[in-house]
Amino acid sequence: MDAFVNFFQNLVDRPQVIVGAIAGSLALLYSGVFRGIGAFISRFTTPILMGWWFYSRSDNPNKLNVTLNIISDVHLDIDTVVADKLLTDVYKNHFIAQLLKLAAKRTTAENPLITLRYKPRHKRWFRFSNKTEAQLYEAIYNPLISEVSEKTNNIFSFMGAIGVPMRSFRFVLALTYERGIPGRDQHFRCMMIAEDSLLALPAVCPPVDHPQYTTRHRTLQCIADSYQRHPERFGVVKFWLPEAWMPELTTTSLSGGAKRGA
């Protein structure tokens, strides 16, 4: 008992020890509070503020989806194949994702197609990479081909592998960043359209369900023009269907599987 009395007596005689202990306790308390506030901001507040920022500007370069364009002389329909995803969920290589964001800044309302600035290796100041232009476009479209193939071709590819008579159809993938569309957000849209329909695109936009979809026909015209000149800058997916499902179709099958356009 005397030891405890002497201990507290020494504390009373030395107030600086008490002050130091209180200051240390408060420092630990406040550091924990600040860490908690920082964690709350990074986990909850920051995503909300970023969402508000992108929503208010109607411009979100972190979002990507894939849409199927069904076009005929009587109507233009648009359907979702891959719903909205984060750009980095599709492109695990963040360098490629950043490259796309830079390319998106160069798009215009007249030309929303994503194109890369490429210089041959001997014309670059820095020659760290020996990638060709075709390899860069492959790095862009291969992840998109994988996303689309996963959604559409798995079962049918297995049916073809076991000998079921199949018919294949080529669909072109074109990555775009459309601008200036009233009432619609700006973000990455991968346009998907049957190759035959793209090459025979009507000059006048067919009827659409929503007025803002009229800009889609202009985008498809831009894609068709570029695809005829530079097909290597696009992706091509093959879609398989059993022959028995479509006896009325007489188009011949095309060889090969899901692959890049040539």
Q: Residue 66's closest CA among 81, 50, 77?
A: 81
pLDDT digits over 201-247, tens only?
A: 888 888 888 777 788 888 999 999 999 999 999 999 988 888 888 76
Domain ranges of the chain: 2-47, 59-260
Give the Cα separation of 113 and 209 in Å (integer): 23
Return all residues near 186 (Cβ < 8 A) that are at least 6 apart. 58, 59, 60, 177, 178, 179
- CA–CA distances in Å: residue 217 to residues 71, 82, 143, 150, 224: 9, 20, 25, 27, 10
Give the Cα separation of 252 and 166 in Å (integer): 11
| Average pLDDT score, the chain | 77
Q: How confident is the model at residue 25 (pLDDT cuts 50, 70, 90)?
A: low
Tokens for 206, please give them.
Answer: 């067919």
pLDDT digits over 181-212, tens only?
A: 766 778 999 999 999 999 988 888 888 887 77
Tokens for 44, please give them.
Answer: 């909850």
Largest CA distance in the chain: 106
Please indicate, yes or no, whether the overall pTM of this predicted structure exceeds 0.85: no
pLDDT digits over 100-134, tens only?
A: 999 999 999 889 999 987 766 555 545 556 778 88
